[in-house]
Structure formats: structure tokens, C-alpha cells
Chains A and B, each alone.
Chain A
């Protein structure tokens, strides 16, 4: 029972981070109708930027800021430099370009930093608090939880409560009409990419100290989890991403705790296959698909 509570709590915290990463995929999908397969590689580059800045200044917070900026700038550059030039009409070229980008970024990181895992210290204590004899979350888990919830809330407010969010949603849903109404659609699309890059970088940075470890491929698994989440919730639905993230996080945590860490990827694959076979568009996908 104690174990169950502990696993559920850590799974929830981890699930929120996966949800954050999935949200970043949803943001790009809504802005550009494209799954950014390079998101994990971009996030890893941003985490390496954080690693370098933290190493130079000694401050985790400076590194965090650097990761956010690096993720945003890199994704904006990807959109302006590459994705804008991709022929539209078929999703294939966009995916292939993103895969090429993954290869370029990961191999460049491999050349620059070598294959070793770099140690990255968490800014808070990682030992779990014990409440009534039951080990629960650690201080770092709590930090992750608070940050993830805050960012999810911030994104919800940005998209639903501000004029900028309205413009972002409008240019994704109806680019032509938005342009006629004076929305600078290309700028909004770039902004969406930048936002998504920052969120992805944050998610990767939160998981690197405790789980992923830092090397060129550290975010690959996070991407697979996040894609599962996005597929679970439907690529269009932020709520779906949030719920799906928690489901996947708890599933991974329970399977790891009760069966073994080696089975977790298989459980995720089984979940993804099941969801895609039952509801190919995702559980939370709106029935009427927007034809944008």
C-alpha cells in the first residue's frame, strides 16, 4: 500500500512533465499541422546550453533561463529557416526534414560533448519526505510538480485569456481569415514554435537531473512518451495532453515499480497501439476535424 502511494505520487509528478512535453507538441501541431519529430533533439540542445551556463555561473536558475531561451530561439530558427520552406500539401516532407534535423543536432552534440553521460545536479533535495511512515515526494519532485502545474496554467491563460492567445489560435484555425482581419499569421506561427521550444526545453530540463541523464539521446524516450500522450489525447487537445500525460506517467511508474524498468517501454508501446487501434484520432480528439 505504501509502495502504491509512493509510485502513484512519483508517477503523477513525472506524468505532468511528460504532459508538458506533449503540450509542446500540441502547440506546434496547432500552429503548423505538423508533429515536430525534432522536438526532443531541440530540447536536448537547450539542456546542454543550460548545462554549460550552470557550469559557468554555478546557478541552476541561470541555466534554466538559458534553456528556455535556447529552446525558443532554436525552434523559431527551425521554423523560419526550414519548416517554412517545406512544400505543403503532404505531411511527409515536414516529417522527413524534422528527422534530418534530429540526426544533425544529435550527431553535432555527440561530436561536441562525446558519448558520456554528464552529471547534472538537481537544485533541491532528492530524498523523499516521509509522511506518516509513507515515503512520498521529494523536494525536487514537489518543485517539478509546482513548475509543471504553473506552466500548464500559464499556457491555458495565454491561449484562452489573452489577445495574443486568440491570435495564435485564430492563425492556426483559419490562416486566411486571420490575415484578412489583420493578424500577422507568419509571426504567430513562429511565435507558436518558439513557445513550444521553450516548453519542451523546460520539460526536458526538469527530468534530466533525476531520470534521463544528460547525453545527446537523453530526450528520445521522453519524446516517445510524449508522442504516446499526444496520440492518447489527440494532437489537437491540450486537455487531452494533460490527462494523457498523467495516465502515461502513472502507468510507467506502476509498471516500473511492480514489474521492472525493462517492461515500461513495452507497456507504453502496448498502450499506444491500443489507443491508435481503438481511436485512431485520439481519445479527446474533436469528432469534426478542422480542415486547416
Chain B
């Protein structure tokens, strides 16, 4: 993922160049939607290309980052645009994971248990199951959230995360503490000469992440994004302008949950299991860290944040193992040290550096471009919207 970060900047340059080309008339200009779709396609292809230079373990990590990115993108949209703080996105990911596992296992039980085409069909069915379950959970939560303000929604979602292990222990179909296992999805026959399974999983993860996040980008830059910002800014004023705050909030929550659910399904696919152990409070808070440190409301920031929260704990473990601290201390540092850094980052970014990585990147990019066609390449498309029309 660290390799794709520069690619993001590079790619925006590219679209900017495309826009700067002499356009004979307004018809030649790409619309906002087309531009986002082109950008998404190019980024997806770039990410798929990157998988060829990574070794299998890096590809596995890339798949996990892509899965986490789905959830952080949904969360950053929710918190950044509508101001609803959810501490329970891990539960929505878990909902997606369980939806995937239940559907896939049911499909495998119904005879769809082969390789190749059956495997693909199973995965697609499973993703649909994840969308249904996470959408239902997110819709219910969103209905509650639309009535709640400030700390109440955060507290409710917190209580949900804490209650998740109890729920999985009580409902036999969810497999208790062990969770559910799903069948292994191998590489399709046609590609099996070319790539190994980790790379195949990374491809699936990248494509699903693109499918999950691109609608969010469209929502964010379009009319819906404007409504969300209006509701966040002043609910009464929004209502007077004919925007229904409740509908906007529920919609944002559902969109955010669907992305998180797809992320959970991906994680289930890659790790071949889903259980309550992974989706604990600490993980839920990590998603918040990723959204805040990346910059609330920024999808690029969410990608960087997802990479950070997946890779930093691994990096810390690698470094402590390499330095050779005593085994007891190493066990204590494992996990905790990264969380310590994340907590400190959360505080520092909020107090000193609001806007996070996304803001820093924008500033750097804007300075030299101030003279040329800055609005078209702006990472905040709504800012340029009036100029386009």
C-alpha cells in the first residue's frame, strides 16, 4: 500500500493533465461523475499492477489494507460529512463478515462447492449477503442515530461493540467465540499459472474495495454530499432549505455501513474465518484513528489511514523482534506500543493538526498549482462545482 500512495498523487496529476488539454468545447470536458469513475478505474488498475511487484505476504497485507480501507472510507464519510461519530464500525464489518460467511456456507451446502466458476459465484453471492446483512444492521443503527446527537450515538455504538461477543456466544448460528470458517477460495484455473493465491485475493480485495468506495466518492462530491454538509453545519437551516436531516443521516449511515460490510466480507474471504475476537473495541477505535489521522471526510486520507493502522502494528512487532528485547517485554509491547502511538496520534492530530494527512497533502499540492487550473484538480470536488456549471 505504501507503494500505491505516491500513485494516488501521480494519478491525480494525470487526470489534471487530461483536463488541461485544449478542449474545443464544453462537450469535450469530462463530467464530475466521469472524472471520478476514470480516476477509480486508473487507481484500481494501478493497485492491481502493484500486486505483481509484491511478494505473497505483502499481497496478503495489501488485501487486508483494502478491506480496512472500505470501512475507514465509510467511517470518514460518516464522521467528516455528517458529524455522526460511530465507535461501532467494527460491528458493521463483523455484520458483513457474518453475512458473507453464512451465505457462502449455505451456497456451499447447496451444491455450489467446486472451484473455478463455482468459487467465483460463491464469492459474489457472499458479498451480496454481506451487503444485505450490513445494510440491515446499518439501517437500524442509522434510524437510531438520526434521533441522537453528539455523545449518545457514540455511546450506543460503543455499547454495541462491547456486546458483540455476547451476541455471538448466544446465537448458535454464529459459532460462538470461534466464529465461522468459510471455504478456501483458490485461484481460477485460467490464472493459476500466472499468480498465486495471495495475489488473487489481493485482486479481489482491490476490485471490491473500488466497488465499495467509488459510490462513496460519488455521493461525497455530489448533491448528497452537499446535503450531508448542510445537515452537519446547521440542522435547522438545512431543514428550512428543504433538506430532511433524518433522511440524510440515515442515508449516510447506510452508505457507510455497506462499505464497512464489504470490508468485513473481504477480511473474512482473505482470512477464511470471521469471529468476534477480531472485531473488538480496540479494532473499532483503530478505524476511528485511521479516519481522523487520514483527515476526516477525505477518501484518500482514509486509504492512508487504513494502511497506517494495518502496517504500523506489524512494523512495531518486526522492530521489537529485530532489536531483541526480552521476551516478557516483547509480549507486553506487542499490540500495546502501536496502540499507544495511535492514541497519541489521535490527540495530536485533533488538537494541533486538524485535517490530518489529507490536509497536509492538499497544501503541498496546491501551492505550485495556484496559478494554473487548480479548481479542476481540487481534491474537494464540491469546491469546484459552482465553477463547472
A residues near B (Cβ < 8 Å) are 34-35, 37, 82, 85-87, 90-93, 95-97, 99-108, 110-112, 114-115, 220-221, 224, 227-228, 230-231, 235, 262-266, 268-269, 272-273, 276-277, 280
Cα–Cα distance between A95 and B90 once the two chains are bound (Å): 18
Contacts A96-B346, A101-B343; is A227 near B170 (CB within 8 Å)? no
Task: Looking at the assembled complex, report how far the CB atom of B381 sits from the nearest CB atom of chain A, in whole angstroms.
Answer: 23
Task: Looking at the assembled complex, report how far the CB atom of B153 sits from the nearest CB atom of chain A, in whole angstroms.
Answer: 9
Give the top 6 A-B pairs by smallest Cβ distance, nearest first: A103-B343, A100-B346, A35-B151, A104-B343, A100-B347, A91-B150
Contact pick for B159, options A34, A115, A224, CB 8 Å: A224
Contacts of B158 in A (CB 8 A): 37, 224, 227
Contacts of B345 in A (CB 8 A): 100
Task: Looking at the assembled complex, report how far the CB atom of A97 sits from the nearest CB atom of chain B, in whole angstroms.
Answer: 5
B150 touches A102 (CB 8 A): no
A265 touches B166 (CB 8 A): yes
- 27 pairs from A and B in contact (CB 8 Å cutoff): A35-B150, A92-B85, A93-B350, A95-B150, A97-B346, A97-B351, A99-B87, A99-B288, A100-B342, A100-B343, A103-B285, A103-B340, A103-B343, A103-B346, A104-B344, A107-B336, A107-B340, A107-B343, A108-B336, A111-B333, A114-B331, A221-B162, A227-B159, A262-B166, A273-B144, A276-B148, A276-B156
Cα–Cα distance between A108 and B333 once the two chains are bound (Å): 9
A231 touches B155 (CB 8 A): yes
A266 touches B163 (CB 8 A): yes
A280 touches B159 (CB 8 A): no
Contact pick for B170, options A37, A82, A262, CB 8 Å: A262
Interface size class of B (residues with CB under 8 A): 35 or more
B281: Cβ under 8 A from any A Cβ: yes
A111 touches B147 (CB 8 A): no
B148 touches A91 (CB 8 A): no
Contacts of A103 in B (CB 8 A): 282, 285, 289, 339-340, 342-343, 346
A273 touches B154 (CB 8 A): no
Cα–Cα distance between A6 and B67 once the two chains are bound (Å): 49
B347 touches A104 (CB 8 A): yes
Contact pick for B85, options A96, A107, A221, A262, CB 8 Å: A96
Contacts of A35 in B (CB 8 A): 150-151, 154-155
B332: Cβ under 8 A from any A Cβ: yes
Contacts of B343 in A (CB 8 A): 99-105, 107
Consensus secondary structure, chain B interface: helix
Contact pick for A96, options B144, B152, B350, CB 8 Å: B350
B125: Cβ under 8 A from any A Cβ: no
Contacts of A265 in B (CB 8 A): 159, 162-163, 165-166
Contacts A100-B345, A104-B344; is A110 near B332 (CB within 8 Å)? yes
Cα–Cα distance between A106 and B332 once the two chains are bound (Å): 12
Known: A104-B343, A263-B170. 19 other contacts (CB 8 A): A37-B154, A93-B354, A99-B343, A100-B347, A101-B347, A103-B289, A104-B344, A105-B343, A106-B339, A107-B335, A107-B343, A110-B336, A227-B159, A231-B152, A235-B151, A266-B167, A272-B155, A276-B152, A277-B147
Contacts of A102 in B (CB 8 A): 285, 343
A95 touches B154 (CB 8 A): yes
A224 touches B162 (CB 8 A): yes
Consensus secondary structure, chain A interface: helix
B residues near A (Cβ < 8 Å) are 79, 83, 85, 87, 144, 147-152, 154-156, 158-160, 162-163, 165-167, 169-170, 281-282, 285, 288-289, 292, 328, 331-333, 335-337, 339-340, 342-347, 350-351, 354
When C-beta atoms are compared, the residue in chain B nearest to A87 turns out to be B354
Task: Looking at the assembled complex, report how far the CB atom of A169 sits from the nearest CB atom of chain B, in whole angstroms.
Answer: 21
Contacts of B150 in A (CB 8 A): 35, 91-92, 95
When C-beta atoms are compared, the residue in chain A nearest to B158 turns out to be A224
A269 touches B159 (CB 8 A): yes
When C-beta atoms are compared, the residue in chain A nearest to B141 turns out to be A273
Contact pick for B350, options A97, A221, A235, CB 8 Å: A97
When C-beta atoms are compared, the residue in chain B nearest to A261 turns out to be B166
Of residues A100, A104, A268, which shows the largest number of chain B Cβ atoms within 10 Å of its Cβ?
Answer: A100
B337 touches A280 (CB 8 A): no
Cα–Cα distance between A93 and B85 once the two chains are bound (Å): 10
Contacts of B335 in A (CB 8 A): 107, 110
Task: Looking at the assembled complex, report how far the CB atom of A273 sits from the nearest CB atom of chain B, in whole angstroms.
Answer: 6
Contacts A99-B346, A265-B166, A266-B163; is A111 near B340 (CB within 8 Å)? yes
Task: Looking at the assembled complex, report how far the CB atom of B279 sits from the nearest CB atom of chain A, in whole angstroms.
Answer: 15
Contacts of B282 in A (CB 8 A): 103
Contact pick for A111, options B87, B337, B346, CB 8 Å: B337
Task: Looking at the assembled complex, report how far the CB atom of A280 sits from the nearest CB atom of chain B, in whole angstroms.
Answer: 5
Task: Looking at the assembled complex, report how far the CB atom of B243 sits from the nearest CB atom of chain A, in whole angstroms.
Answer: 19
Contact pick for B169, options A104, A107, A220, A262, CB 8 Å: A262
Contacts of B149 in A (CB 8 A): 91, 280
A97 touches B347 (CB 8 A): yes
Cα–Cα distance between A19 and B254 once the two chains are bound (Å): 34
Contacts of B160 in A (CB 8 A): 269
Cα–Cα distance between A112 and B337 once the two chains are bound (Å): 11
B170 touches A266 (CB 8 A): yes
Cα–Cα distance between A220 and B163 once the two chains are bound (Å): 12
Cα–Cα distance between A95 and B154 once the two chains are bound (Å): 9
Contacts of B87 in A (CB 8 A): 99
When C-beta atoms are compared, the residue in chain A nearest to B292 turns out to be A96
Contact pick for B351, options A82, A272, A280, CB 8 Å: A82
When C-beta atoms are compared, the residue in chain A nearest to B284 turns out to be A99
Task: Looking at the assembled complex, report how far the CB atom of B234 sits from the nearest CB atom of chain A, in whole angstroms.
Answer: 12
B340 touches A273 (CB 8 A): no
Contact pick for B163, options A111, A268, A277, CB 8 Å: A268
Contacts of A34 in B (CB 8 A): 151
Contacts of B147 in A (CB 8 A): 276-277, 280
A268 touches B159 (CB 8 A): yes
Cα–Cα distance between A82 and B83 once the two chains are bound (Å): 21
A108 touches B170 (CB 8 A): no
Task: Looking at the assembled complex, report how far the CB atom of A289 sits from the nearest CB atom of chain B, in whole angstroms.
Answer: 10
Task: Looking at the assembled complex, report how far the CB atom of B303 sits from the nearest CB atom of chain A, in whole angstroms.
Answer: 20
Task: Looking at the assembled complex, report how far the CB atom of A32 sits from the nearest CB atom of chain B, in whole angstroms.
Answer: 12
B332 touches A85 (CB 8 A): no
